[in-house]
Structure 1
Amino acid sequence: MTSIATEDDGPADAEPEVSRQPAADTPATGYVAVSAGTSHSCAITVAGEIECWGNRADRRLDAPEGTYSAISAGHRHSCALSTEGEIACWGSNDFGRLESPSQSDFVAIDVGRFHSCALTVDGTTHCWGGTGVGSLSEQGRPGESYKDIAVGDEVKCALTQVGHLDCWGGWGVHRTPSESFVSVVGEGEFWCALASTGQLSCWSTTSWPGFQRPDDGTFTEVSVSETQGCAIRADAQIVCWGKTRNAGVPAGEFTSLAAGPDHACAIDNVGEIACWGDAYEAAEDPPPDRFTALAAGNSHTCGFKEDGTTRCWGLLPGIMVEDLGALASISAGWDHTCGITNDGQAICRGFDYSASRDVAPGLYTAVSLHEHHACALGTDSRLVCWGRNGSGQTDAPPGRYSAVAAGRRFTCAITIAGRALCWGASGYGRTDPPAGTYASIVAGWWHACALTTQGEAVCWGRNDFGQMDVPDGTYASISTNQRHTCAVTTDGELRCWGFNDLGQLDVPSGSYTDVVTGLNHACALTTEGRAVCWGHGDRGAFRAQ
């Protein structure tokens, strides 16, 4: 997302992000600029150094050393302007995001989702990266000199020296206001420009209705994303509109701000950063409690405490465990949680999916759930499943079983004789387990894994990210999700394999007894009963509430 000020005090901020606050180890040294990307944020300290926090995938937190005057965080990359006028970019280089010009006469920069643009001292535009829709072939009106520039997904808008708007890139005709402005910001189809009088104009670059804006008033700075906008009023107070409106907006006086699609950050008049909104990346540790077992869902994690109670953290943990009471076992699904009470009842909480709503009555010893269905193991060793059944995933074969695992549109179980059976969606061979005698079983999105009675880990199904490439060893526990798998060896070593775009394989050192995997994160239980998590804390999967 981008932000603009009425005075020429540096380039605009950019893009969207989500972090309720800087990471715990971000030094509070005072900041002069902040920018919010899709899943990371960056700021410039009073010393001119860059600090970044949030999603570390693609090395997007690896800010370069040096002193900088402007920063812009994007979807998977960031760029900054050094005090010498040079551009430094880091993060993902797909679409040529990092291939910036090498000259040293730049005065402004802005980053979009796939590409970036900068202005030289003489007002010339330079753009790089992009998906091929007007991102490189058009650099602005030939011979025109610009004083500010903003980058959206495909569209770029710049202000001429007299304050008129030029927009190019993308598709169709760009309808823009005709007034004279001092700064411009945009993201996606939504744009705002600020006049020297503090008046704010907002519009859409497509045929969509005009982008809403705050009530009449005068403003000193504005920032927009594809879902919301925030501005600083003349009295230094913040007002937001769109998706989050004014929910969570801090009180106080502020000098700069940056709005993401689900969050925003601002710098107050003493140089401290305040962030609010939805935190996709949470670097905080799990609760300090001691646990005896863990369960991981898409964006939350739950654990059994030593005193017999259950605690969840991550996305809406109160809803995930609300009124569950004392439990004998627990399973975390997409955005919901189910448990078996001490008297054998199945109980579920969370979002109103059929897996949590249509709980089948009965007495159970264990339960497993995924996105929209669940299966429970009865006290008579028979299976009962409920929820959506579009692929036959709840059509459990008759028989007696010792374990069950619900995957994405398929289910696997182990018979009391140790044979693995799977049913439901059969794509990628996920319902074709190899022959063997098994003790435990887990199911992910398109593959499943099981441990034999000798501790050998065996996986079947889709292997496009190496999630089935089991390292040699003897294992005591195994867990899998979409693109990665983790297991604990019989001597307590933790191992993970598969895709590592969000740090899913960056396992911590130590000795462990169990491991669970979420969509993009994992948590393990140490021999001391502590929970340790790593990977991408999607919507706060790591954050204790």
Structure 2
Amino acid sequence: MGRGLFGVDFGGGLWAVSVSSGSSFTCAVLGDGSVKCWGRNEEGQLGVGSDVVGLGAKVDEVGEGLPDVDLGGEGGAVGVSAGFTHVCAVTCEHFVKCWGENLYGQLGLGDFLARGDGVYGMGGALPFVDVGGDGGVISVSCGERHTCAVVSDGSVRCWGGNGGGQLGAGDGVGRGGAGGGMGDGLPRVEFGFGNFPAAVELSGVDGRDGVRLVGGASGEGAGRSVGGAGDVNGDGVGDVIFGVPGADGVGGVEAGAAYVVHGRGNAKAFAVSAGGQHSCAVLFSGLVKCWGDDAHGQLGVGGKLRSDVGVIVVDLGEGALVYGGPGVSAVSAGSSFSCAVLYDGRVKCWGRNVEGQLGFDSVTPSVGVQVGEMGDELPAVNLGGGVRVSLLSCGFSHVCAVTSSLGVKCWGDNSYGQLGAGDVIGRGGRSEGMGDGLPFVDVGGGVLSVSCGRFHSCAVLEDQSVKCWGYNEFGGLGLGDSEHRGDGAGEMGENLPAIDFGVGRGVRSVSAGQYHSCAVLDDMSIKCWGQNGRGQLGVGDLLNR
């Protein structure tokens, strides 16, 4: 590796600002706002206006030979998201352009025609995606068959395939294809109307949604009005008081009661994560809402009545639904499960659990479908005493979390040592493997960030080095061999080499794809390693590295 691990040559001295790894291809936003993609191109996802099978496998396909994605106009892109076989970029004017496969209308162009494959044009001929709304696009996330965008008005709008309800439109109808449905006709994902929910179960008010004020004696009949209560809980949103004179209070029968119901906070999203066939968003109020396929409970319905394709408030229990309180800071939609980081540093996961990726003692293959599985009944992942999480990454069937002490703990599937525990024993499905018994991943230093691929994990350390562990058949660990790491004793810690990016080079960020990974270095160059059968490493050949 090192000087044998080639940087991706973008030509003209250009450097990378960000990188996104798709299934068998990679895209990067460069310092001048241009976008370049390399790897598999059978669906036109490289956006080069050619039906070439791939780029990056030959010397003349890198550097000046690697074309820019022609987005037309001036200013370039500020962000890019690589999905399974399509790509979307946010321009500096906060518009969106998409290219690649379009069988489900995931490009949002009013048809099912692929773009970028040479048949239909790029550049000025590639239309902007009309997402509607009152503002520009802040960010975009590409799933397998659908795309979601966060708009500056706080709305989330999704288009493409909708067989699992992943567009959050309240039906199973796809948008963005020949049936239209874009622009002002593209429904926003409805996170709630006004400042209050559509229905309040007063008997269930327990301090999260409001408080109950009870009468002191039988027949007192306290509470005979409905009116504004001001901002009782101090979250900046007005509350309402409901008088219930016939309620039984602590003082006896029909002592009366009054319910102060807290107004909902800002029903706008600041982040969205598109999974395989479902999506989740974090709202400014601290709520998590999910929509789409729920075959494994990944929406966290918990037995509530709903339409098959509705938007669900994920009930994460006490401390996670307090308006103006802790709430949720981040969410990750995996293939068939979801995880959220609460502001108090706890983690809760729901959905598929066959491999123990939910991180708590249960033999149930999925959690979040039945009554009594969500809310306070959904356990937090037991990471041990005093452990608080700052961020996490969900792989295909495992999760790694960075703690406030800059440590890493991983749980779920461990078939190839991707948990970094020195064995192939999965964690998360049995209590004895969690808590203080779940070891920190020993990488020989503090960790700033982590990224989970299909069966491997990579971490950026405090010294700006990168270490990877788990599956390595295609060289995805960047160590110059095909031996898995983390699946046997003595392979982690100081015995796990850092990836050699060359003398004096540090890393800003890393993105783990299916079987390959890419890193943005401190000089803003990009280097990639792992499987290269489609040229996804962008180094001018098809050799794995």
**Same structural fold, with TM-score higher than 0.5 when normalized by the shorter chain:** no
Using CA pairs under 8 Å that are at least 6 residues apart, name the structure with larger relative contact order, 1 or 2.
2
TM-score, structure 1 as length reference? 0.43
Q: What is the TM-score with the length of structure 2 in the denominator?
A: 0.43
